[in-house]
Structure 1
Amino acid sequence: MTNALELTAPVDTLAMEFTRVFDAPVAALFRAHADPDLLARWLGPHGLEMDVTEWDFRDHGGYRYVHRTEHGAFAFNGTFHTVRDNEFILQTFEFEGAPDMVNLEYLWFEDLGDGRSRLRGRSICPNTDARDALLSSGMEGGMTEGYEKLDALLAAG
């Protein structure tokens, strides 16, 4: 079953917030965010290939990955500020095609019981133009497709 993505951009803020329920235990959902091999299988819309070039998943560690499409390669990087297993990730996120436009991202992992979990996120952009550019770029569709791939990955165990 695919659960709906709820994505909002509260007026007069630099934030985007989302919520998504998964039919999987919180530990499995967290692991899919922590393990670079799993992450590469679901992050982003259909039709992307993803190469994780750097991955140090711990407090003050960092990451870099590249998405490849028929339109070219798009690289992203950031720093993991805080990682608490099965509970919380605080990280930065930067599209290398827009240097100095670094987002601060919060991810909360909630155990709903009965093998279900909820992911809540908040991304704070450096300015409203950056936020609005992300929202108009098809980000919501890409997140929805990525989470559909994540559903399949979690269902497969």
Structure 2
Amino acid sequence: MNENKVSSQMKHWVEGKDLVVERMFNAPRDLVFKAFTDPDHLANWWGPKGWETTIHRFELEPKGVWHYCMHCVDKEQVDFYGQKSCGKSVFHEIISPEKLTFTDTFADEEGNPTPGAPEMFITLTFEEKQDKTKLISRTQFSSEEELPKVMDMGMVQGLASHYEELENYLKQL
């Protein structure tokens, strides 16, 4: 098991072909779960800092589709400014407010999966810790070789930024 810290708030490690990420949020579990499962909430925080998210489709049910596109609007992010990144997820299991499972892949603006992009099976577990929530994200890849490729693309840093945006959004609610 290889463990690293991105910030004092988030830690991650690799177990075989799985990337495991843990983060504590200063909000009740019901609220954190709702932030992940209500498209109006998701659109307000999903994506790294400096990016805006448009949700094209969101069906919170088994086999339901979540299709979204993120757009970099921060001119300070010179290399990324103006770029779009889209994703498509298919939900498998929804146990409110404890767990979500879904497959996720990069997609185009119409929701077609990007050829050759890895498909990730993601399990989000929401654990209640007094008035806080421990989020455990387990992302499983089809092979141990795919995981480093996605990590080299900045997946861990992207998740850290996503979760910082979520923490800031939760403070507003």
**TM-score when normalising by structure 1:** 0.90
- Mean alpha-carbon deviation: is it higher for 42-51 or for 23-32? 42-51
1:150 equivalent among 166, 169, 173: 166
Superposition pairs of residues 15-94 of structure 1, within 5 angstroms:
15-69=18-72, 70-94=81-105
Q: Quick check: 1:3–1:22 contact (8 Å CA) kept in 2?
A: no
The answer to whether residue 11 in structure 2 is matched with residue 6 in structure 1 is: yes
Unaligned runs of 5+ in 1: none
Counterparts of 1:135 and 1:148, CA distance in 2: 18
* Alignment correspondent of 1:139: 155
- Mean alpha-carbon deviation: is it higher for 68-77 or for 102-111? 68-77
How far is 1:98 from its partner?
A: 4.6
Q: Partner letter of residue 147 of structure 1? A: Y
Q: Partner letter of residue 79 of structure 1? A: V
Counterparts of 2:25 and 2:122, CA distance in 1: 20
Change (3 A) 1:145 1:100: closer
- Mean alpha-carbon deviation: is it higher for 102-111 or for 146-155? 146-155
* Alignment correspondent of 2:121: 104
2:106 equivalent among 95, 104, 114: 95
Counterparts of 2:115 and 2:11, CA distance in 1: 26
* Alignment correspondent of 1:123: 139
Counterparts of 1:101 and 1:143, CA distance in 2: 17
Q: Partner letter of residue 33 of structure 1? A: F
Change (3 A) 1:150 1:21: same
Change (3 A) 1:108 1:27: same
How far is 1:73 from its partner?
A: 1.6
How far is 1:119 from its partner?
A: 0.4
How far is 1:123 from its partner?
A: 0.6
CA RMSD of aligned residues (A): 1.6
Matched length: 153
Q: Deviations over 1:30-81 (max 9, x none)?
A: 0000011211222221111111111001222111101112252211102100
How far is 1:99 from its partner?
A: 4.2
What secondary structure is seen at the aligned counterpart in 2 of 1:121? strand
Unaligned runs of 5+ in 2: 1-6, 73-80, 108-113
What secondary structure is seen at the aligned counterpart in 2 of 1:9? strand
How far is 1:3 from its partner?
A: 5.5
Counterparts of 2:65 and 2:8, CA distance in 1: 30
